[in-house]
Amino acid sequence: MNRIPAFGLGTFRLKDRVVMDSVRNGLELGYGAIDTAQIYGNEAEVGEAIAASGVPRRDIFLTTKIWTDNYARSKLVPSLKESLTKLRVDEVDLALIHWPAPDNGVSLDEFMSALADAKAQGLTKQIGISNFNIELTKQAIAAVGRENIATNQIELSPYLQNRKLVQFLREEGIHVTSYMTLAYGKVLTDPFIGEIAKRHHATPAQVALAWALQRGYSVIPSSTKRENLASNLLSQQLRLTDEDMAQIAGLERDGREVSPAGLAPAWD
């Protein structure tokens, strides 16, 4: 199985020329992974930026996510083929179910087996889930097998550490991808994070990202500014002390930023 890169570029909320510039800058700076989704409405622009970058396709780990409208068996594979056309690639490296959407009328068995079909057809190298709680992850494992779930991409930050779910995923050998690691920027003004940043001559963003990386998660921060994209990358070289990590562990406050009604599960 291809390992999921520890560091990638997120494209949530980035559109048009903005997302093209972000992807171009990211690839120029050395980002090796790009994360998008059908609902972001930017797959075509991401694909255009990748094509124009000159970076070989084999050097880019590309993730997209299937939107809830496309979960039915008759729709999932065609929707992913449409995503591939927009992205200008023959396959993605990772395709995720974006939200469990328990009330949308398509059973988990149906959409997970349809996603497995997409993998069997060579449309994606790996498959996984996003925003699944423990119970739904168990159901996904039952549907397609633990070895076929490459990751669960979940909201994680110093303010939302999701310990119970993370522990379960570790026990199952399912990789954790952290999104919203900076809690919409809220952790950037946290005094404790600020103190740790000062001690290491780092930025608060670097500290939060380094915390997630040292916890073993992959991260996919986004930015529209080249200097921030470059700065975020440096978090990979930052080593936090045990004391730093313990201090950040104390910031847990169940600070969830994203939980759309009808799409989100009952959180653990």
Binding-site annotation: residue ranges for substrate: 98
β-strand partners of 7: 219
Q: Which of 31, 40, 71, 217 is catalytic?
A: 40
β-strand partners of 157: 160
- Residue 27: strand, helix, or coil: helix
Written as one string, the DSSP assignment of 190-236 is -HHHHHHHHHHT--HHHHHHHHHHHTT-EE----S-HHHHHHHHGGG
Written as one string, the DSSP assignment of 108-155 is HHHHHHHHHHHHHTTSEEEEEEES--HHHHHHHHHHH-GGG--EEEEE
Told to judge if 71 belongs to the known catalytic residues of this protein, a careful annotator would answer no
Give the closest residue to 6 by CA, choosing from 61, 86, 70, 46.
61
The answer to whether residues 22 and 225 touch, using CB atoms and an 8 Å cutoff, is no
Distance CA 141, CA 135 (A): 10
Residues designated as active site:
40
